[in-house]
Each structure stands twice: as structure tokens, then as C-alpha cells.
């Protein structure tokens, strides 16, 4: 097992040296990485075959990122209005986000926090972390803490252990969920020591951000095995991205690849209004049609929930397909997976 962190590429000339971009493109791409951070791990660089493949599109800078549309926002899911103390986002009653760092092992070209990530001065100081933990401790209604950022797995075991110790001391915290890209972009980071650090009194879940089946390499699979065999349950999050996974085949390959590796697909996110991301955007209608195609062709175990984060910080809404529609007091029109429709009379309906 490779426990040595892979070397990240953070400069355009290094991308050119690895022949991931043309040397002639460096000048044109410089303003892009001045605006939005560049970082690509060795593991990810090794997966890129062509300049426009699903991995390259997610991680290599693109001139189209400079095209900022009027509807795009610096804070697309509205974290700021729900930040009572630095590092905490409290949007729903029973859970909070805790963001100890805004650093990541890679910088995704469509990131919803792209204005924030990559800046070391966004890391929480000791005093700020204590204040964030005190905020959680003072609110018994907080059952779940979501460690995100940034990517919490860029922190050392020691720093992560300090945060988890702090959460473990708060009796009402029942679940801690870590949102991470590290398992696939730097699988060597998932060491037995890290797994031991994650195991706690509360249930620690890992939510894996993964967008294409080719990210599930042999090394990533071994890292997932270490987590699952170590008693850490896993779910996945995928962003629906034009040119990366916007086909039924790409999505079903990914979801089946996840279930096969004991990861439950959790969310399929509609792309947020992050700045400079319009070339990744699909329509909601197209997304619904894709999710419709998956229904019936894959078991429920492999189906994520397709969700939209409402701009402005109003939370997530499922983008539901209209499978069951009320047609009369106790009558429903029900659509099956082949497109047929059926009438269902609800015997428990109060109107009956």
C-alpha cells in the first residue's frame, strides 16, 4: 500500500511537462488559475488520456471558466447567511457543517465553493475550532456533524483526531459524516491509522465525492475496502456534469461500480450556480430524463436521489419524477418503468 501522499501539480508548466496541456496554452490559461486554484494529484494525472476526457474535464483548467454568467454566484448555496460562528454552517435543525479547512487535494473545475477553497488562511485556528465545538455542544438538537470544507482528509491524523475527540466529548452527537474526494484522488491517504482515527463512539460515515467510474481505480478500490472493512460505512455524492457523466450509461456504470464496492449512492447533485461553470451545466429536464432511464434498469440500491440546492441557502430539494399523481379524491395515476400508466385507488384515503 502506498502511504506516501501523491505529489500534486499546481503549475501550468508542470501540466505541460506531463503533456496534459499544450505548452502554447499556458499563457491563455494563466488568468484561469489566477482566479480559480489549480491542483491535480499524481493519481488523477495518471488517469487522463485525452484533453477532453471525463477526468480531464473535471480537473484541468479551461478558458470557459472566465465566462461568468449573470446568474452565477460566489456563494451559490448560501453558506454565508447560515454561519453563526466561523467554520459552522447551520441550515437544518438537527445537523451542522463544520469546515476546519478550505484546502483540498484537488481543485475541481466546477466546485460550488471555488471562491473559498485553496486559501490556507481559511483554516480554523485553535480558538475558532473551540468556538465551533462550543456552538455544537450548546445545542442538544444537533445530532449529525458534517465535516467538510475543503476536504477534511487533507488534515493530518493528529489534527483530525483532535477534532473528532472534541466531537466525541459532546454526548448528543450521534453521527459524524466526512465529505471527501481524497479516497479516489489520493487513495494512499487512507491508511490503517486513519481508519483507526475515524472509529469513534458515534457512527462515522464517509461520503465519497466521485463523478465517473474511471475514478474507481484499483488503488481507490483498495482504499474503499480499508474503510469498509474497518467498519466505516460509505455513501457517495455525484455532480451531474455535461461531458463527464450526463448519459444513462455513464451514470449506471458509476452507480453499479459504487454498489459493487459497498458504497451506497446517496446524492446526484444538479450543478450549483458556481462562477464560470456554465460549460458543465445540464438542464433539469435532461437530468430528470436520465434519472428516469435509470429507474427500473438498476435496483433501488444503486439509485441516488437527484437533488437541487436552492440558491440563497434554502437547502436541498429532491428533483422528483412524477411517478404517482393524484387524479381524483382517492385515485392516482401511476407510471411504471416502461412508461405504462395504471390507476390506483387508495383504500386508506379519507375521501373514499
Among 65, 75, 122, 151, binds ligand SF4 (CB under 6 A): 151
The answer to whether 113 is a known catalytic residue is yes
Q: Which lies closer to ligand SF4 via its Cβ, residue 179 or residue 226?
A: 179
The answer to whether 295 is a known catalytic residue is no
CB 3 within 8 A of CB 67: no
The answer to whether 346 is a known catalytic residue is no
Exposure class string for 58-79: b at 16+ Cβ within 10 A, else e: bbbbbeebbeeeeebbebbbbb
Q: Which lies closer to ligand SF4 via its Cβ, residue 12 or residue 186?
A: 186
**Applying CB under 6 A, does 117 fall inside the site for ligand SF4?**
yes
Per CB under 6 A, contacts with ligand SF4 among 76-115 are 104, 106-108, 111, 113
**Applying CB under 6 A, does 154 fall inside the site for ligand SF4?**
no
**Applying CB under 6 A, does 207 fall inside the site for ligand SF4?**
no
List of residues 6+ apart from 349 with CB closer than 8 A: 329, 330
The nearest distance, CB 76 to ligand SF4, in angstroms, is 12
Closest residue by Cα to residue 285 from 296, 302, 275, 270:
270
The answer to whether 92 is a known catalytic residue is yes
Q: What is the DSSP letter of 156?
A: -
Q: Which lies closer to ligand SF4 via its Cβ, residue 108 or residue 255?
A: 108
Exposure class string for 196-215: b at 16+ Cβ within 10 A, else e: ebbeeebebbbbbbbbbbbb
Instruction: Please tell me the count of residues contacting ligand SF4 according to CB under 6 A.
Output: 11
Reported as type and span, the H/E element at residue 300 is none
The answer to whether 309 is a known catalytic residue is yes
The answer to whether 99 is a known catalytic residue is no
Binding mask 121-150 for ligand SF4 (x = CB under 6 A): -----------------------------x
The nearest distance, CB 113 to ligand SF4, in angstroms, is 5
The nearest distance, CB 151 to ligand SF4, in angstroms, is 5
The nearest distance, CB 73 to ligand SF4, in angstroms, is 15
Alpha-carbon distance of 240 to 246, in angstroms, equals 6
3-state secondary structure (DSSP) of residue 333: strand
3-state secondary structure (DSSP) of residue 114: coil
Reported as type and span, the H/E element at residue 164 is helix 157-168
Active-site residue (options: 256, 316, 333, 335): 316
Per CB under 6 A, contacts with ligand SF4 among 158-187 are 181
The nearest distance, CB 108 to ligand SF4, in angstroms, is 3
CB 263 within 8 A of CB 235: yes
The nearest distance, CB 117 to ligand SF4, in angstroms, is 5
CA distances from 129 to 100, 116, 216 (A): 7, 18, 33
Calculate the CA dihedral of residues 294, 298, 302, 303 and round it to 10 degrees.
30
Query: Looking at the annotation, which residues are catalytic?
Result: 91-92, 95, 104, 108, 111, 113, 272, 309, 316
| Site residues, ligand SF4 (CB under 6 A) | 104, 106-108, 111, 113, 117, 150-151, 181, 209
Amino acid at each position: 500500500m502506498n502511504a506516501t501522499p501523491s505529489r500534486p501539480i499546481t503549475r501550468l508548466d508542470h501540466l505541460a511537462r506531463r503533456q496534459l496541456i499544450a505548452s502554447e496554452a499556458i499563457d491563455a490559461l494563466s488568468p484561469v488559475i489566477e482566479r480559480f486554484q489549480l491542483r491535480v494529484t499524481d493519481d488523477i494525472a495518471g488517469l487522463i488520456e485525452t484533453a477532453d476526457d471525463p477526468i480531464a474535464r473535471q480537473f484541468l483548467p479551461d478558458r470557459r471558466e472566465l465566462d461568468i454568467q449573470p446568474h452565477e454566484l460566489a456563494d451559490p448555496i448560501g453558506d454565508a447567511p447560515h454561519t453563526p460562528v466561523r467554520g459552522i454552517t447551520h441550515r437544518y435543525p438537527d445537523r451542522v457543517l463544520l469546515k476546519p479547512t478550505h484546502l483540498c487535494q484537488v481543485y475541481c473545475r466546477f466546485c460550488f465553493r471555488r471562491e473559498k477553497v485553496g486559501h490556507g488562511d481559511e483554516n480554523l485556528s485553535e480558538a475558532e475550532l473551540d468556538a465551533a465545538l462550543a456552538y455544537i455542544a450548546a445545542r442538544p438538537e444537533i445530532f449529525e456533524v458534517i465535516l467538510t470544507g475543503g476536504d477534511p482528509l487533507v488534515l493530518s491524523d493528529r489534527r483530525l483526531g483532535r477534532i473528532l475527540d472534541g466531537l466525541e466529548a459532546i454526548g448528543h452527537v450521534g453521527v459524524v459524516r466526512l465529505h471527501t474526494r481524497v479516497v479516489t484522488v489520493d487513495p494512499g491517504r487512507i491508511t490503517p491509522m486513519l481508519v483507526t482515527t475515524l472509529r469513534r463512539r458515534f457512527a462515522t460515515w464517509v461520503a465519497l465525492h466521485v463523478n465517473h467510474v474511471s475514478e474507481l481505480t484499483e488503488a481507490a478500490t483498495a482504499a474503499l475496502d480499508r474503510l469498509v472493512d474497518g467498519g466505516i460505512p460509505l455513501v457517495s455524492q455525484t455532480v451531474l456534469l455535461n461531458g463527464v457523466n450526463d448519459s444513462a450509461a455513464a451514470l449506471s456504470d458509476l452507480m453499479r461500480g459504487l454498489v459493487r464496492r459497498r458504497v451506497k449512492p446517496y446524492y446526484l447533485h444538479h450543478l450549483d450556480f458556481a462562477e464560470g461553470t456554465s460549460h458543465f451545466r445540464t438542464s433539469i429536464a435532461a437530468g430528470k430524463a436520465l434519472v428516469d432511464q435509470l429507474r427500473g434498469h438498476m435496483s433501488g440500491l444503486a439509485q441516488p436521489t437527484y437533488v437541487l440546492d436552492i440558491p440563497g441557502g434554502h437547502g436541498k430539494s429532491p428533483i422528483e419524477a412524477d411517478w404517482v399523481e393524484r387524479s381524483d379524491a382517492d385515485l392516482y395515476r401511476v407510471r411504471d418503468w416502461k412508461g405504462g400508466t395504471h390507476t390506483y385507488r387508495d383504500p386508506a384515503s379519507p375521501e373514499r
